[in-house]
Amino acid sequence: MRGTAGTVGRVAVVGAGTIGASWAAYFLSRGLRVAASDPSPGAPDLLKRMIENAWPILMRLGGKADADPTAWTFHADPAAAAEGADFVQENAPERLEVKQPLLARIDAALPPDVVIASSTSGLLASRLSESCAHPERVVIGHPFNPPHLIPLVEVVGGAKGSPEAVAAAMAFYRGIGKHPIEIRKEVPGHLANRLQAALWREAVHLVAEGVASVADVDAAISEGPGLRWALMGPHTTFHLAGGEGGMEHFLHHLLPAVTSWWSDLGNPAVDAEVQRALVAGVAEKTGGADTRELARRRDAALVRLLEARGPSAL
């Protein structure tokens, strides 16, 4: 399988919307050539704007000095974009009826040693590859938004993906500066989205029950544990919470309290009233700023955080 250092020079980015354009900018910054495809008439302009806007940031964050931001082509036909690629990153809409035939077309255009990775945030690789002649090379390569900034990529082979395809995808992402993690068993939502969903469920419950406002629930994360989570995950965080005894001491002394909280966690019904409260709460919290402005602020802060944190967490 292609994917190890030096075996990937051209990447096909199939689906060049927000996620795909971000991926394309990142691939280019790492010295790769990109062939993009998307059915939207405005896709080439979006792609060009994304690359131009992201390029100064990507150069600050480790892009190759000789990387060429113009080393991309656009193709109306996804099979034409895939032809000759050494790796495919698919980013079509999150619908099985769209992705399955698209992946089958891409699969038919490629030799069997080229990995096809889907950016799906929750669909299963074994379902996505059902119509492919070579399902063993179809894996999940799920980034976190925005892909050109967030290091994490979840790699899932699923029931049909070969160990060689998973290893090649892991090597490819690692080789271009990402932090890939292998999900060893297919579950809807993979790993990080399930963790996010669990936290958000309780966040919605606390708002619905009148425990705190949307703004204060958000602040409880961004001004507290979220700062630690930028450096280490929940297990290591609680390992340190155990003091000199580490995780063993934490489990011995604090596990009963934590598990008692588990039994009290909510399962909210997100009805119309709760939805109105969430929408109004977010509007109040953000001061009415539109999502583009909020994304700009987020990305600027992410760059500062990534530079301060360095190449790896503790």
Q: Give the HSE-up count for residue 165: Cα atoms under 13 Å, Cβ half-sphere.
A: 26
Q: Do 99 and 160 share a structural domain?
A: yes
Is 112 among the domain residues?
A: yes
| Domain termination residue (choose one: 183, 200, 215) | 183
Is 155 among the domain residues?
A: yes
Q: Do 175 and 49 share a structural domain?
A: yes
Q: Do 178 and 123 share a structural domain?
A: yes
β-pair partners for 142: 154
Compute how many other C-beta atoms are within 10 angstroms of the C-beta atom of residue 303.
16
Q: Above 70 in pLDDT, residue 49?
A: yes
Q: Do 169 and 44 share a structural domain?
A: yes
What confidence tens digit (pLDDT) does each residue in 259-292 have?
A: 999 999 999 999 999 999 999 999 999 998 889 8
What confidence tens digit (pLDDT) does each residue in 105-145 have?
A: 999 999 999 999 999 999 999 999 999 999 999 999 999 99
Would you call 142 helix, strand, or coil by DSSP? strand
Is 314 among the domain residues?
A: no
Q: Which domain covers residue 296, as residue numbers? A: 192-309
Q: Do 56 and 22 share a structural domain?
A: yes
Task: Write the CB contacts of 71 (distance below 8 Å, at least 6 apart in sequence).
Answer: 28, 32, 33, 34
18's enclosing H/E stretch is: helix 18-29
- Global pTM reads 0.92
pLDDT band at 179; cut points 50, 70, 90: very high
Number of domains the chain is built from: 2
- Spatial separation of the C-alpha atoms in residues 39 and 174, rounded to whole Å: 30
